[in-house]
């Protein structure tokens, strides 16, 4: 009995230590985001204070009021930037997922010449940093006349996202047994119906993960967008952060407020899709 009590005590102590460790790790990971949110409500004096002011003394919504009250009155065109980001991110994500599904399924299910070499080539494109492409892309886009357009950024983001989406979706399709699709075809389904009704739902978690990655990459990308956009008609929210900088000053509070506006849709999308990920993992189980 004494040994059981000691074992139970040790197990409880380990559980508490594990919980504390997870809490501290999450606190460290979330600290930059928490600091941005707090800085959007506090005056610049507190933001720039040395030593730093950890507990805010004066909170206000002035940065958000200034951001949205200036719409259409010469202020920062937050609505236009948000619309541009949404159009570019959603369109590039949809195209990337469509190409990624086709490519991932082809690599997972079919055999063709130079399959491994093509797959390796796609993966190697991910090793090139996006900023290294900014100068050649600028010259090419200038020749084609697509600088400062939605189409130009969508094209770049699709090219950046497709290799990863193909790789991720390919892995999930490989986990779906071929026998399921073959059984569906024997039962009267066409090859297309077997894909949509059997294989696609089981690979749904991977496709949703690829969609989250592609959207967040397009939504948060700054380096290429800053080089390929010029006007309000095409600037995205990350590039709009530069509007808070001038020759001698930086509006840190306003910049943090815009960063919060950027974070909210990304968090909302991740939360919504996360539920679909969980349901897909549970309902997609194959019962023997």
Specify burial of residue 27 (Cβ count, 10 A radius: 0-12, 13-18, 19+): exposed
pLDDT given at position 280: 45
CATH 1.10.3720.10 fits 66-283, yes or no: yes
Largest CA distance in the chain: 82
The pTM for the full model equals 0.81
Q: List per-residue pLDDT tens for the chain, 288 residues long.
A: 566 777 788 888 888 899 999 999 988 988 888 888 888 888 888 888 888 777 878 888 888 888 877 665 556 788 889 999 999 999 999 999 999 998 888 888 888 888 888 888 888 887 887 778 888 888 999 999 899 899 999 999 999 899 989 988 888 888 888 888 778 878 777 778 888 888 888 887 788 888 888 998 999 998 889 889 888 889 999 998 888 887 777 888 888 888 998 888 888 887 877 765 555 444 444 433
- Quote the CA–CA distance of 51 and 185 in Å, as a whole number: 69
The continuous run of DSSP H or E covering 114 comes out as none
Decide: helix, strand or coil at residue 193: helix
- Quote the CA–CA distance of 137 and 130 in Å, as a whole number: 10
179: number of Cβ within 10 Å: 9
- Quote the CA–CA distance of 271 and 150 in Å, as a whole number: 27
257: number of Cβ within 10 Å: 26
Are residues 100 and 163 in contact, defined by beta-carbon separation less than 8 angstroms?
no
């Amino acid at each position: 009995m004494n040994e059981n009590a000691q074992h139970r005590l040790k197990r409880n102590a380990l559980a508490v230590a594990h919980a504390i460790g997870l809490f501290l790790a999450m606190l460290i990971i979330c600290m930059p985001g928490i600091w941005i949110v707090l800085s959007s409500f506090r005056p610049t004096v507190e933001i720039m204070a040395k030593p730093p002011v950890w507990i805010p003394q004066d909170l206000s919504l002035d940065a958000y009021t200034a951001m949205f009250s200036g719409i259409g009155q010469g202020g920062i065109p937050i609505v236009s930037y948000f619309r541009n980001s949404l159009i570019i991110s959603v369109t590039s994500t949809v195209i990337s997922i469509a190409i990624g599904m086709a490519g991932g399924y082809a690599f997972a299910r079919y055999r063709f010449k130079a399959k491994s070499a093509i797959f390796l080539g796609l993966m190697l494109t991910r090793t090139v940093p996006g900023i290294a492409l900014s100068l050649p892309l600028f010259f090419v886009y200038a020749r084609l006349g697509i600088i400062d357009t939605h189409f130009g950024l969508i094209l770049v983001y699709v090219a950046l996202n497709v290799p990863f989406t193909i790789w991720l979706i390919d892995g999930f399709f490989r986990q779906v047994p071929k026998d399921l699709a073959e059984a569906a075809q024997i039962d009267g389904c066409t090859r297309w119906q077997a894909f949509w009704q059997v294989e696609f739902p089981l690979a749904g978690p991977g496709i949703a993960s690829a969609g989250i990655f592609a959207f967040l990459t397009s939504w948060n990308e700054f380096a290429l967008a800053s080089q390929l956009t010029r006007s309000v008609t095409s600037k995205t929210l990350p590039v709009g952060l530069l509007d808070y900088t001038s020759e001698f000053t930086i509006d840190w509070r306003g910049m943090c407020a815009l960063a919060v506006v950027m974070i909210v849709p990304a968090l909302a999308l991740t939360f919504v899709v996360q539920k679909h990920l969980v349901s897909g993992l549970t309902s997609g189980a194959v019962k023997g």
